[in-house]
């Protein structure tokens, strides 16, 4: 005789369609303007910053930079819903979250300009710095969440990654340990359909990435990652459950990478302009703006005033970044170890001596 050993399901949540029209009843909080207007402000600020960062890179004033375009409706509500005492374990597209949690845009620019002082900002408090190696941050987040459990603290670790990262052993190992130990942890996958030039269909044979949660014994759900209301609902519930001792969750937020992978990439070489055009039809900022206009909560006059205000703020951050004197080259050794091994100590001295000699030569010239 055969019986069913396990049956699971993955729900998909959406409140607003691509035109910003509600597709069903909205949660109570979305019946008032405050939260959604604030989300809109933060999403447009993030976008302006992003445009500026790309312009800086194109003019040789910033290093390789990964655009956040298309991920605004995931990052903004998530950062906003987290408590100050929670810990963000980001990946390399979550600049706006770092800023919402207290970091300065200047520090974000410093980091992407190759200056480690951007990662050492005191404003990060206990949040972890950017993580470029794919999916390794998911395991760091397990360590953070395990510490919360051991200390009996009601704090939650939140980690983000991309669709491609879900193919990595690190991601699956993190899910596994989070499920085994029932950690206070929220995994958010920004499924933007591409891992550099590898499309989502070539990453995984399963119809959703959220169902990877089932194999780890944790909650998994899929949401429209271009719909800020759906993301808010999913993240709020996942945080509440984690804080209340009900264990981890995996949220797959389905979005679209509207940019190149980074400024070092040219996506026209591997994806069609039709696909990109379709991506823009679903984008999150316009969707929310349409919704707010429809409710009478936002208008063209407010838009223009806000855009002018954030242009000023972004320019101030850029000016502060460009006015920051370069760090001592020996500082690149400072953030690697609690105690620097003797072999690296020698290298640090060598780097410092060479920098001093270069500076002396410049002075003579
Ligand atoms: C361990 C490791 N392998 C490879 C890379 C090179 N790499 C950088 S981004 C990336 C793709 C990641 O795609 P995805 O997880 O979907 O995130 P997205 O960039 O689309 O947000 C790869 C393979 C890396 N940074 N780290
Ligand atoms: Mg991706």
- Is residue 163 lining ligand 1, measured as CB closer than 6 Å? yes
Does a structural domain hold residue 1? Answer: no
Mean pLDDT of the chain: 96
**Is residue 116 one of the residues assigned to a domain?**
yes
Give residue 328's pLDDT band: very low, low, confident or very high (50, 70, 90): confident
Q: 141 near 350, Cβ under 8 Å?
A: no
In the structure, what pLDDT confidence band is assigned to residue 233 with cuts at 50, 70 and 90?
A: very high
pLDDT at 117 over 80: yes
Domain membership flag for residue 7: no
What percent of the chain lies above the pLDDT cut of 70?
Answer: 100
Shared domain for 251 and 356, answered yes or no, is: no
Count Cβ atoms within 10 A of the Cβ of residue 9 and give its class: 0-12 exposed, 13-18 middle, 19 or more buried. Answer: exposed
Give me the pLDDT at residue 351, please.
93
Asked if pLDDT for residue 227 goes beyond 80, the answer is yes
Among the bound ligands, name the one nearest to the CA of residue 68. Answer: 1
357 and 208 fall within a common domain: no
Lowest mean pLDDT among 113-117, 265-269, 299-303: 113-117
Atom of ligand 1 nearest to the CA of 134: 26
pLDDT higher than threshold 80 for residue 335: no
Q: 185 in a domain, yes or no?
A: yes
Residue 100 lies in a domain: yes
pLDDT tier for residue 362 given thresholds of 50, 70 and 90:
confident
- Residue 134 CB less than 6 A away from ligand 1: yes
Whether the CB-CB separation of 248 and 174 falls below 8 Å is answered with no
> Which atom of ligand 1 is found nearest the CA of 136?
1
The residue contributing the CA closest to ligand 1 atom 26 is 133
Task: Tell me, using a 6 A CB cutoff, whether residue 331 lines ligand 1.
Answer: no
Q: Please name which ligand lies nearest the alpha carbon of 137.
A: 1
Instruction: Compute, in angstroms, the gap from residue 272 CA to the centroid of ligand 1.
Output: 21
pLDDT digits (tens, 9 = 90+) for 149-181: 999 999 999 999 999 999 999 999 999 999 999
Report pLDDT for 217.
Answer: 97
Whether residues 267 and 343 fall in one domain: no
- Assess whether pLDDT exceeds 90 at residue 284: yes
Local confidence band at 333 (pLDDT 50, 70, 90 cut-offs)? confident
Cα separation, 65 vs 55, whole angstroms: 10
What is the average per-residue pLDDT within 235-262? 98
Does 363 have pLDDT greater than 90? no
What's the total number of domains in the chain? 2
Asked if 229 and 275 sit in the same domain, the reply is yes
Domain that holds residue 99: 12-327
In this prediction, residue 330 has a pLDDT band, given cuts at 50, 70 and 90, of confident
Instruction: State residue 359's pLDDT score.
Output: 86
Q: Give yes or no: residues 67 and 178 share one domain.
A: yes
Average pLDDT rounded to a whole number, residues 20-41: 98
- Whether 53 and 147 map to the same domain: the answer is yes
pLDDT digits (tens, 9 = 90+) for 343-356: 899 999 999 999 88
Tell me if 195 CB under 6 Å of ligand 1.
yes
SS (H, E, C) the chain: CCCCCCCCCCCEECCECCCCCECCCCCHHHHCHHHHHHHHHHHHHHHHHHHHHHHHHHCCCCCCCCCCCCCHHHHHHHHHHCCCCCEEECCCCCHHHHHHCCCCHHHHHHHHCCCHHHCCCHHHCCCCCCCCCCCHHHHHHHHHHHHHHHHCCCCCEEEEEECHHHHCHHHHHHHHHHHHHCCCEEEEEEECCEECCEEHHHCCCCCCCCCHHHHHCCEEEEEECCCHHHHHHHHHHHHHHHHCCCCCEEEEEECCCCCCCCCCCCHHHCCCHHHHHHHHHCCHHHHHHHHHHHHCCCCHHHHHHHHHHHHHHHHHHHHHHHCCCCCCHHHHHCCCCCCCCHHHHHHHHHHHHHHHHHHHHHHHC
* Residue 281, pLDDT score: 98
Residue 129 and residue 136: Cα distance in Å, rounded? 12
Same domain? For 342 and 307 the reply is no
Per-residue pLDDT, 94? 98
* CA nearest ligand 1 atom 17, residue: 162
Mutate to test the pocket of ligand 1, among 134, 172, 198 (most ligand atoms within 8 A of CB): 134
Lowest mean pLDDT among 117-131, 213-227, 288-302, 309-323: 117-131
Does a structural domain hold residue 348? yes
Residue 216 lies in a domain: yes
Q: Are residues 300 and 351 in the same domain?
A: no
Report the alpha-carbon distance of residue 77 to residue 228 in Å, rounded.
Answer: 7
Are 199 and 340 within one domain? no
Contact, 282 vs 256, CB < 8 A?
yes
Which CATH number does the domain housing residue 160 bear?
3.40.50.970
Residues assigned a catalytic role: 257, 261, 270
51 with 92, same domain: the answer is: yes
pLDDT at position 332 is 84
Both 232 and 347 in one domain: the answer is: no
Mean pLDDT (whole number) for 262-270: 98
| pLDDT tens per residue, range 68-110 | 999 999 999 999 999 999 999 999 999 999 999 999 999 999 9
Give the model's pLDDT for residue 146: 98
Q: Is residue 105 part of a domain?
A: yes
- Say yes or no: 310 and 222 in one domain: yes
The two tokens of residue 46 are 């993030």
């Amino acid at each position: 005789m055969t019986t069913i050993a396990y049956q699971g399901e993955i729900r998909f949540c959406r409140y607003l369609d691509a035109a910003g029209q509600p597709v069903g009843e909205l949660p109570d909080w979305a019946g008032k303007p405050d939260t959604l207007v604030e989300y809109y402000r933060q999403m447009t600020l993030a976008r302006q910053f992003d445009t500026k960062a790309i312009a800086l890179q194109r003019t040789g004033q910033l290093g390789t930079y990964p655009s956040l375009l298309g991920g605004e409706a995931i990052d903004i509500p998530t950062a906003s819903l987290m408590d100050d005492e929670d810990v963000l374990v980001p990946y390399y597209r979550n600049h706006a979250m770092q800023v919402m949690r207290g970091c300065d845009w200047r520090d974000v620019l410093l980091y992407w300009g190759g200056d480690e002082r951007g990662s050492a900002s005191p404003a990060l408090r206990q949040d972890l710095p950017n993580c470029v190696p794919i999916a390794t941050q998911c395991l760091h987040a397990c360590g953070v969440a395990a510490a919360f459990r051991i200390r009996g603290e009601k704090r939650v670790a939140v980690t983000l990654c991309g669709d491609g990262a879900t193919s990595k052993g690190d991601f699956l190992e993190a899910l596994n340990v989070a499920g085994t130990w029932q950690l206070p942890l929220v995994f958010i996958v920004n499924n933007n359909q591409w891992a550099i030039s590898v499309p989502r269909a070539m990453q995984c044979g399963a119809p959703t990435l959220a169902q990877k949660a089932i194999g780890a014994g944790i909650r998994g759900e899929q949401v429209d990652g271009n719909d800020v209301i759906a993301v808010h609902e999913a993240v709020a519930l996942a945080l509440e459950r984690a804080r209340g001792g009900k264990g981890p969750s995996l949220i797959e937020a389905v979005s679209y990478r509207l940019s190149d992978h980074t400024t070092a990439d040219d996506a026209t070489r591997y994806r069609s302009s039709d696909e990109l055009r379709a991506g823009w039809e679903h984008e999150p900022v316009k969707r929310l703006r349409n919704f707010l206009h429809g409710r009478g909560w936002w208008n063209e006059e407010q838009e223009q005033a806000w855009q002018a205000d954030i242009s000023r703020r972004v320019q101030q951050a850029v000016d502060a970044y460009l006015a920051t004197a370069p760090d001592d080259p020996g500082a690149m050794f400072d953030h690697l170890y609690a105690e620097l091994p003797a072999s690296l100590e020698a290298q640090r001295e060598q780097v410092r001596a060479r920098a001093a000699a270069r500076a002396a030569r410049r002075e003579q010239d």
